[in-house]
Structure 1
Amino acid sequence: MQGVLCSLSGMEFVSGTGGRRLDYVRRGRGAPLLLIQGMAGHHEFWGDELLSALEARFDIVAYDHRGIGRGDRADEPFTVADLADDAAAVIASVGWTDAHVFGISLGGMVTQELVLRHPDLVRSIALGCTWAGGPRGVISETSRRMVDAIATRDVEHGVRTSFEANLSRRYAAQEPGALELYRRRALSVKVPVPVVLMQWAAAQAHDTTARLGAVDVPALILHGSADAGIPRENALQLHDLLPAAQLEIFENAGHLFWWEDPERTAALLIAQSTG
């Protein structure tokens, strides 16, 4: 799965499976850290608050999934395993032999498949606000409403519904500019509706419950207790499947727990990489 960096009209891309161009950002220096975003997410969703707290300790690469941003179109359905192969190609593209990996939501599912399919590429995993799928997995109606809102192509309806699904009421009440910040970040990168719907289908089919016992790298599970989209029961299930993993619950935080507490998120990632 050879990958190379490439450019087009002065824009830099990282190479995914089959040479597919993927948009990305890179910053910091230190141990390699691959960041994998969730459904309808992109590199701007990590936020400068988290990246600034990490860049002194990590060489950070945050890429966008196929079909997102300035990269190549994605017109054919894909699986979470396909996205994991993209992640493996990204690691090769940037010149790393392996990396610490932090994936959230859909990106957490990709991280699970990545460590199972390409274990030699992964130093440690951090699974944020995600699930293992299977019969015990719980996806709430809030997530379904968010997808339905995005599917309407009504931008403001999609932004407001996603904001309410992703951030806790506590955070929204304490941060008067939270909705505008969310709107600005969400709309800063092109996210085609058909790609989001394919991501949703891939997430629904995800199931690693019978295979996670094979994971033998350090694992960290991070979840907000007020996550309205992927309830905290999924974190507890992941911990059952990965009993050696460190479980950290962010009390009263929503799905985007790292927005609500970037300092704690960064501290946990740093501690895992040096432990």
Structure 2
Amino acid sequence: MPNVRVAGAELHYERAGSGEPLLAIQGMSGTHMSWGSPFRSLLEQHFDCIVFDNRGIGLSPRITEPFTIAEMAADSAQLLDALEVESAHVLGISMGGMIAQELALAHPERLRSLTIGCSYCGGPGSQLMDPADFQGLAEAMASGSQDRVFRAMYELNLSPAFRTEEDRYAEFTAMAEALPVAQRTVQLQLQAITGHDTSARLPGLATPTLVVHGTVDRVLGYPNGPLIAALIPGARLEPLEDVGHMFWWEQPEGAAELVREHALASA
């Protein structure tokens, strides 16, 4: 698939499937491959599914200048423009959920429905990663050992129950190795995340919203899910018991069905 030029950057995207359009927005360090084939294939059975690499990541050209979550939301809106999609269902996970919040607030007419997964809104009561976990990840990244980085990310993103089957680590590393990400871009993404705060504006959101969050999420703790759902009028919270941050990786069938059901209910 080609790249498209938006105001702030150039974005690589892929589009497949049939049905109503669905824009899927990935999180920090995530690429179009981070959705995993099982989940993405299930979405494509029901939607005209658009996945893409955020600015500076994956197959989108590298960048060096700082950016904000709101600017990445503008990228998403302009991607829809370039693809001549007037409105779409929007799925955003982790940082992508933050981007989706800003997109819904800035362009509510572009969203048919909104699904926010394992995300964060900033403000009182919100939680970023536990400092000890963050320190462990930073040390792994500073070590120069790719395997140590992958192992740290695997343990943070996926639940203990899911990790009991060791062959799943090979699947995770295969995804990570297939499309390496630039550490500088990840640092810029982290900088954007720390500046994100939609908490005071979410009560003005009228888009039909589903909030999905694993109860053992170690990246953006579970309390973030109920907080976001409480701030958005009419939002529905779907807790996933004993599931980690990458819920779509752990439960692709269930996660895809949640997105599908919410989209149908919002039609």
Q: TM tier, shorter chain?
A: over 0.9
- Using the TM superposition, give the Cα deviation of residue 176 of structure 1 relative to its aligned residue in structure 2, in angstroms: 2.5
| Aligned mate of 2:108, from 107, 114, 119 | 119
Gaps of at least 5 residues in structure 2 are none
2:238 aligns to what?
248
- Whether the 8 Å CA contact 2:32–2:58 is kept in 1: the answer is no
Distance 1:72 1:222 in 2: 31
2:127 aligns to what?
138
Return 125-134 or 67-76, whichever deviates more: 67-76
- Whether the 8 Å CA contact 1:105–1:129 is kept in 2: the answer is yes
Alignment of 1:53-68 (within 5 A): 53-68=42-57
2:59 aligns to what?
70
Q: Does 2:221 align with 1:231?
A: yes
Distance 1:246 1:194 in 2: 36
2:146 aligns to what?
155
- Using the TM superposition, give the Cα deviation of residue 148 of structure 1 relative to its aligned residue in structure 2, in angstroms: 4.9
2:171 aligns to what?
181
1:203 aligns to what?
193
Gaps of at least 5 residues in structure 1 are 1-10
- Using the TM superposition, give the Cα deviation of residue 273 of structure 1 relative to its aligned residue in structure 2, in angstroms: 1.0
**RMSD of Structure 2 on Structure 1 (CA):** 1.4
- Using the TM superposition, give the Cα deviation of residue 14 of structure 1 relative to its aligned residue in structure 2, in angstroms: 2.8
TM-score of the two chains, using structure 2 as the length reference:
0.94
Which SS does the other structure have where 2:70 is aligned?
A: helix
| Aligned mate of 2:156, from 135, 156, 165 | 165
Query: For each residue in 1:40-71, what CA deviation from the matched residue of structure 2 results, as whole angstroms up to 9, or x when unmatched?
Result: 11111101111121212100011011111222
Q: Does 2:57 align with 1:42?
A: no
- Whether the 8 Å CA contact 1:70–1:190 is kept in 2: the answer is no
Which SS does the other structure have where 1:62 is aligned?
A: strand
Distance 1:195 1:145 in 2: 20
- Using the TM superposition, give the Cα deviation of residue 15 of structure 1 relative to its aligned residue in structure 2, in angstroms: 2.9
Distance 2:257 2:163 in 1: 23
- Using the TM superposition, give the Cα deviation of residue 263 of structure 1 relative to its aligned residue in structure 2, in angstroms: 1.0
Distance 1:239 1:197 in 2: 28
Which SS does the other structure have where 1:244 is aligned?
A: coil
Q: Which amino acid aligns with 2:182?
A: P
| Aligned mate of 1:33, from 10, 18, 22 | 22
Which SS does the other structure have where 1:17 is aligned?
A: coil
TM-score of the two chains, using structure 1 as the length reference:
0.91
When residues 161 and 118 of structure 1 are mapped into structure 2, their CA distance, relative to the original with a 3 A threshold, is: same
| Aligned mate of 1:129, from 115, 118, 132 | 118
- Using the TM superposition, give the Cα deviation of residue 143 of structure 1 relative to its aligned residue in structure 2, in angstroms: 4.2
